[in-house]
Amino acid sequence: MNFDINGLAYHVDIWGSAHKQTEPAAMGNIPLVLLHGFTGNAGSWRKLMPHFERHSDVLAIDIVGHGKTGAPADISRYTITSAARDIDWILEKAGIEKANILGYSMGGRLALTFALTYPNKVGKLILESASPGLEEEDQRAARRIQDDKLAVRIQENGIPSFINFWENIPLFDTQKRLAENIQAEIRKQRLANSQIGLINSLKGMGTGSQPSWWKRLNEINMPVLLLTGSLDEKFCQIADRMHGKMKNASRITISDCGHAIHVEKPKMFGTIVNEFLSNDKGQTSSHL
């Protein structure tokens, strides 16, 4: 399904009972919104749909500049606050007053931004391998320089060359253990993106371009689940710090797993998310 949001066509995959309708407004349970990572798209979540759609309707959004959503030249459409506002409009057009939000990596930063900006519209928040941004301006400036270099690489060498580089960065080392057909599917999703979409996403929604949310984490009152893979040491440390600053957060680390838990251990990921969404228990911290 496509939604026209201020002149930008957003593609949204809808699953569960709602995907048989023209509008997801008749959802019984609170729907689940899925936000993918950089170079991904809504299809990144497809293998998890059997886990999720049994319990709620699901909206998987192609974030601006990715997948089948438009990739405008106007870089202001890519800022994380602008993207959060677009998600709010999507939910409004879909007739959804409140949703549970699950975001991975870049999508996790966007999910956190949405939760801080529209707290009354979020039931529960799930952050997979995500961060609140960089605390200091010098850190953000250095990251912007790094992201600008990546953007130049895309501009000069094209998408296939960039994806060859991107899928071999240390962050994704553990994905090389995946079956060849799964690796090929991930690569196909990445290659389907446009140059302008990825370039502007790096410049507009990169970690160095967004505000730091570290000092606002204590404002979040809804239940939060922080998920990381044990082999993703950087994001484990980030999630541990976030856990200490949030009022109502649960923290789970998945053993022998890297950055993309939903790809590397989808069954376990689906079970953990469903349990979190379905129970009303207090905060937990565990290593599975």
pTM here is 0.93
What residues form DSSP beta bridges with 191?
none
| Domains, the chain, ordered by start | 2-132+211-287 (3.40.50.1820)
Residue 47 to residue 60: CA distance in whole angstroms: 12
Q: Tell the burial category of 197 from Cβ atoms under 10 Å away from its Cβ (0-12, 13-18, 19+).
A: buried
- Chunked mean pLDDT (size 10), the chain, 288 residues: 95 75 51 98 92 85 98 97 98 95 98 98 98 97 97 97 97 96 96 97 97 98 98 98 97 98 96 90 65
Q: What is the dihedral of CA 185, 287, 256, 51, to 10 degrees?
A: -20
